[in-house]
Amino acid sequence: MWDIVGLVAQTPHKTDQELKTAVIEELQYTPSIDETGVEVQVNDGTVTLSGEVASLPERLAAKHAAMRVGGVKNVTNKTSVRAPITSGVNDQDIAQAASQILAWAVDVPPNAVTAHVRDRKVTLSGEVTWEYQRNAAARAVMYLKGVTQISNEISLGSQPPTTDTKAAVEAAMRRNAMLNPRWITIDLDGSELTLHGSVGSWSELREAERSAWSAAGVTSVRNELHIAS
């Protein structure tokens, strides 16, 4: 079994300038991003993206591009979506389209989520059982033409965790080929789960969080993992 020390040893430490160059190159390499509108700053391994992009999917793609670069410890995405000058749609059009696409989405519970639109900004409300359903609702409306921002206010309602919840998360992490659970500890306080420890990359950090959210009864996950360097 590999360990975090071995993984870090294989990834040479990069200076902030080297990370900045690598992130810019990754943005340029990603065809769904117009990198000319994105500014990159790096401070102690933390990447900050700013500027304007054409859509929410492009904004997310820019963040994921930065996350893919080895050595990046964190990504702060301050980019904004510029409103199209003439998009041919208004708030009412967006609201109608959002309601329809939420109704058609197979991973969003029927009649559980409502979309309100103001100034091209969509606010999602309602209650679902799982975090993946909250994410699915946001993802469904993200691709609608004219949307510049999404505020996900959907709450989670489920049965409280059982005494087996923590053990279930630990077992899931042991099964996961992307994770080394030896370096991760889990605390469960009511329905709030907290991850502590270290991982070797941003992708591992997010994978650990995904595993935690999959546990029945968990309504909040605090990810306090750090990326070893």
Asked whether the predicted pLDDT for residue 196 surpasses 60, the reply is: yes
Q: Report the pLDDT value the prediction gives residue 222, as an integer from 0 to 100.
A: 95
| The pLDDT of residue 137 is above 50 | yes
Going from the C-alpha of 73 to that of each of 60, 62, 67, 131, 135, the distances in angstroms are 17, 16, 8, 24, 23
CATH topology classification for 165-227: Histidine-containing Protein; Chain: A; (3.30.1340)
Fold annotation for 91-156? Histidine-containing Protein; Chain: A; (3.30.1340)
| Averaged pLDDT, 127-148 | 94
pLDDT value of residue 66: 95
DSSP per position, 129-196: S-HHHHHHHHHHHHTSTT--EEEE--EE--PPP-TTHHHHHHHHHHH-TT--GGGEEEEEETTEEEEE
Domain ranges for the chain, please list them.
13-81, 91-156, 165-227
Q: Over the chain, what is the mean pLDDT?
A: 90
pLDDT at site 18: 95
pLDDT at position 87 over 80: no
What average pLDDT score do residues 201-227 get?
91
CATH for 13-81 (1.20.5.440, 3.30.450.20, 3.30.1340.30, 3.20.20.110)? 3.30.1340.30
pLDDT at 217: 87
Q: What pLDDT, in 10s, does the model give residues 91-125?
A: 999 999 999 999 999 999 999 999 999 999 999 99
Each as own residue / partner, the long-range contacts of residues 107-113 (CB below 8 Å, 24 or more positions apart, any chain) are: 107/132, 107/133, 107/136, 108/133, 108/136, 108/137, 108/140, 109/133, 113/137, 113/154
Mean pLDDT of 197-213: 91
pLDDT 10s digits, 51-86: 999 999 999 999 999 999 988 989 999 999 987 765
The rounded distance, in Å, linking the Cα atoms of 26 and 42 is 14
Q: Is 5's pLDDT higher than 60? A: no
Which pLDDT band, with edges at 50, 70 and 90, does 3 fall under? very low
Mean pLDDT calculated for residue range 149-171: 89
pLDDT category at 8 given cuts 50, 70, 90 is very low
Taking residue 69's Cβ as centre, other Cβ atoms within 10 Å add up to: 23
13-81 and 91-156 in the same fold:
yes
The predicted pLDDT at position 7 comes to 41
β-bridge mates for residue 42, sequence order: 47
Residue 162 confidence (pLDDT) = 79
* Segment among 46-50, 104-108, 160-164, 216-220 with least mean pLDDT: 160-164
